[in-house]
Structure 1
Amino acid sequence: MTENKTEQKSARKVLIAMDGSKHALFAFEWYAKNVYKETDNVIMAYCAEYNINVPTTVLLASPVAVANIVEQHEEAVLKVFKKLDEIANRYKIKHTLERIERPHRPGEAIVKAAHQQNIDLIITGTRGLGTIRRTILGSVSDYIIHHARVPVIVCKHGDHI
């Protein structure tokens, strides 16, 4: 019985912020090679974002257009989930896939999910935005670093080192 309690205490809850990009995949691979422990409880979190390039008037006038956009979005999410499953299985990492709904910006949604699930460590990649773009668009990794209540590892892809 004490062995089980010790095992539970040593298990970390790790949230890996994933969007399917090469930067996120690099962060996952870095985690898998350098930080992963078999006792880790790995949650690969995908913060889905609707990519709507249709004028609002069309959306308001056509329920069919809205249904098509939602269907395309769901297909894209499933495609990313399949990719995430494949990479985790390649490294033989037990994991769960989680879709983080996004009423907020991605960084806020990730930090909120980490807090609600009592995560011990957050892993994220970085797109390597330049200073001006980062200032205008904001940086998901910057937000996570400054607002998370747990340690955060930000992995820079070789393109941006």
Structure 2
Amino acid sequence: MAVILIPLDSSKSSEYCLEFYMQYLHREGNEVHTLYVADYFGDVGVLEGPSPGRIRQLEEEDRQKASAIEAAVVKIFQSHNVNGKFTRLSAKEAWHKIVQHAKAINATMIVMGSRGQGKLRRTVMGSVSESVLHHSDIPVVICKHPTEKHHH
């Protein structure tokens, strides 16, 4: 039995990735874990630090985003008759939390989208998928959404 970790965010790439896994890679008996990592820490002021009110606002926005993602995931699991698991965690470095979680659940493979949120943040922070690929001890499948353009 394989243990699959599929990290998700609210991008179309993520949803496509889960559907791609279900259609092409899933085998009966596989244990499927989806993971949403909140990394709103990166969106708040680095030097001054966020106010408690701002933190609560970001947490609430994130909870709503995570709930929407979980609802979409549950729908996909049901349509493929898969008993999967959804986990929501938070971290300053999403890639690090993904690699840690993969170890914690003894994942045998990570399947993830190539693009997440925000071009500027990706330029500054580096791509989450690239970092996971670089730091993971297990195979990582990167799903590229067919409508994504490759930019140099």
The TM-score, its normalising length taken from structure 2, stands at 0.81
> Which residue identity lines up with residue 3 of structure 2 in the other structure?
K
> Which residue identity lines up with residue 112 of structure 1 in the other structure?
Q
Structure with bigger helix share is: 1
Structure 1 consecutive aligned stretches of length 4 or more whose deviation exceeds 6 Å: none
Gapped runs of 5+ residues in structure 2? none
The counterpart of 2:115, out of the listed 109, 116, 127, is: 127
The TM-score, its normalising length taken from structure 1, stands at 0.77
Partner of 2:143: 155
Bigger radius of gyration: 1
Partner of 2:85: 96
Q: How many pairs align?
A: 146
How big is each residue's C-alpha offset from its partner over 1:82-127, in whole Å with a ceiling of 9 and x where there is no partner?
A: 122112222222100011321x311111011111221101000112
1: CA distance between counterparts of 2:135 and 2:105? 15
1:136, CA displacement in angstroms? Answer: 3.3
The answer to whether the 8 Å contact 1:14/1:43 transfers is: yes
Gapped runs of 5+ residues in structure 1? 1-10
2: CA distance between counterparts of 1:100 and 1:93? 22
Root-mean-square deviation (CA, aligned residues, Å) is 2.9
Partner of 2:17: 27
Partner of 2:71: 82
2: CA distance between counterparts of 1:128 and 1:160? 12
